[in-house]
Amino acid sequence: MRQSQLFTKTRREAPKDEVAKNAQLLIRAGYVYKEMAGVYAYLPLGFRVLEKIKNIVREEMNAVGGQEMIMTGLQNPDVWKKTDRWDDEKVDVWFKSELKSGGEVGFGWSHEEPITEMMKQYLSSYRDLPQYVYQFQTKLRNELRAKSGIMRGREFVMKDMYSYTTDEEAHKKIYGSVIDAYIRVFDRVGLGDRTFLTFASGGAFTKFSHEFQTISDVGEDTIYVHDAKKVAVNKEVYDEPVVYEELGVKKEELREVKAIEVGNIFDFAGIKSEQLGLYYKNEAGEEMPVHLGSYGLGITRLMGVLVEIFADDKGLVWPEAVAPFRVHLVQLGTEDEVKTEAEELYRELTGNGVEVLFDDRDVRAGEKFADSDLIGIPQRVVVSQKTLTEGKFECVDRQSGTTSHKSLSELISYLTHA
């Protein structure tokens, strides 16, 4: 895409009321727009990053047999009353309103209840199981404070998956597959080495739940990691000896770090199904509650975490897999031959399937480089009088800062085979 046609512009300053680094940089670089505290619109660059993250997650959810669908934002109180989660005393993040036709209505902050209620239409026999269903849904949560940018908004995008199985054994199988799928997601977006499968408290249904936590100084959680085993323990359960039995590690081997929760996995066993009335007939003809697992992964939060982890003092730095474009093509100077060469390179690269943001604007070099650093596309390719004379383009890796010079064929080969 041509930068001259992109409606967003970079800004020198973030809004004064924005304290989170991720939102500050994303606003300055034109990825997001702050609608209200904790409520952000995603502009063309930000929208592209979100879609890249979603597609990675989608591929991994499909690979474990997930069926994509989309639940509703509007929520029926009757369904939530069955599990005692409608009351504001029990759940403090509801947005609620009144239907003109009469009665209350809620706005979805989670979807375990409605999707389990829905499944009563479709699941009645052991032959109907297992089923794995997921969605990318915009969730609304009436948070009292919003101060972590897009990492904890009042409106955010989440991937939520639900597994419906006959029993604990079948549940453990999909549970393990989704953990593996999550590990692949975090590897693919470049967070694999600092993201830990973490033991946390399990709430009413099970002794423990699992989280994925990414080590980060801005994290709100404290966890204790075991580097060799690549597992961690949330502070909530740090003092429970049974954790160490299960993990097969010693408490003293762990180190304390700050971390941010990027995914969570709950085992509801048959409890929610019993509350909502989702039963199946087993092979012996007995009515049994369906075993429910719930698997969350915050899409917009993950984008915020990537900013917090990889950004440097010049601006954003995107891992290749989620960058809005692969190449930032920067044309320096407006001489005819530079223009022609830049246009031709733009055509060549896009013709070879490379996603390019083409800075064809008529602004000075310093501004172009500063914008390019701020926007953070992995590879910058410069076309100028100088590079024309040399017969090679200047290529700068955003993350390492390494500069190289490549001919057209070298560049295409590098970008399409990497």
Told to check if 47 binds a copy of itself by CB under 8 A, we report: yes
Closest C-alpha among 164, 66, 42, 169 to residue 115:
164
Residue 101 vs 400, nearer CB to a copy of itself: 101
Told to check if 118 binds a copy of itself by CB under 8 A, we report: yes
Told to check if 99 binds a copy of itself by CB under 8 A, we report: yes
Told to check if 403 binds a copy of itself by CB under 8 A, we report: no
Please report, as residue ranges, which positions from 125 to 154 form the binding site for a copy of itself (by CB under 8 A): 128, 131, 133, 138, 140, 142-146, 154
Strand partners, 336: none
Give the number of other Cβ atoms within 10 Å of residue 409's Cβ: 9
Binding a copy of itself by CB under 8 A: which of 19, 55, 63, 67? Answer: 67
Number of residues in contact with a copy of itself under rule CB under 8 A: 59
Told to check if 414 binds a copy of itself by CB under 8 A, we report: no
- Any idea what the Cα angle at residue 311 is, between residues 377 and 61, rounded to 5°? 70
Told to check if 319 binds a copy of itself by CB under 8 A, we report: no
Binding a copy of itself by CB under 8 A: which of 13, 16, 101, 417? Answer: 101
Contact 311, 333 (CB under 8 A): no
Smallest separation (angstroms) from a copy of itself to the CB of 386? 28
Residue 15 vs 401, nearer CB to a copy of itself: 15
The sign of the torsion formed by the CA atoms of 39, 45, 48, 53 equals negative
The residues, any chain, with a CB within 8 Å of residue 417's CB and separated by 6 or more, are: none
Check residue 109 and report its DSSP letter. Answer: S
What are the angstrom distances between the C-alpha of 249 and each of 18, 175, 200, 229, 232?
41, 22, 16, 8, 10
Q: SS3 for 256?
A: strand
Residue 82 vs 258, nearer CB to a copy of itself: 82
Give the binding range for a copy of itself (CB under 8 A) out of 36-44, 206-214, 341-349, 363-371: 36-44
User: 103-122 burial string, b = 16+ CB within 10 Å, else e?
Assistant: eeebbbbbbbbbbbbbbeee
Instruction: Give the β-pairing of 291-298 and 155-165.
Output: antiparallel
Smallest separation (angstroms) from a copy of itself to the CB of 121? 7
Please report, as residue ranges, which positions from 69 to 98 form the binding site for a copy of itself (by CB under 8 A): 69-76, 92, 95-97
Q: SS3 for 111?
A: coil
Told to check if 158 binds a copy of itself by CB under 8 A, we report: no
Binding a copy of itself by CB under 8 A: which of 19, 55, 63, 65? Answer: 65
- How far apart are the C-alpha atoms of 27 and 375, rounded to whole Å? 10
Smallest separation (angstroms) from a copy of itself to the CB of 139? 10
Positions that interact with a copy of itself (CB under 8 A): 5-9, 11, 30, 33, 35-37, 39-44, 46-47, 50, 65, 67-76, 92, 95-97, 99-101, 105, 107, 114, 118-119, 121-123, 128, 131, 133, 138, 140, 142-146, 154-155, 164
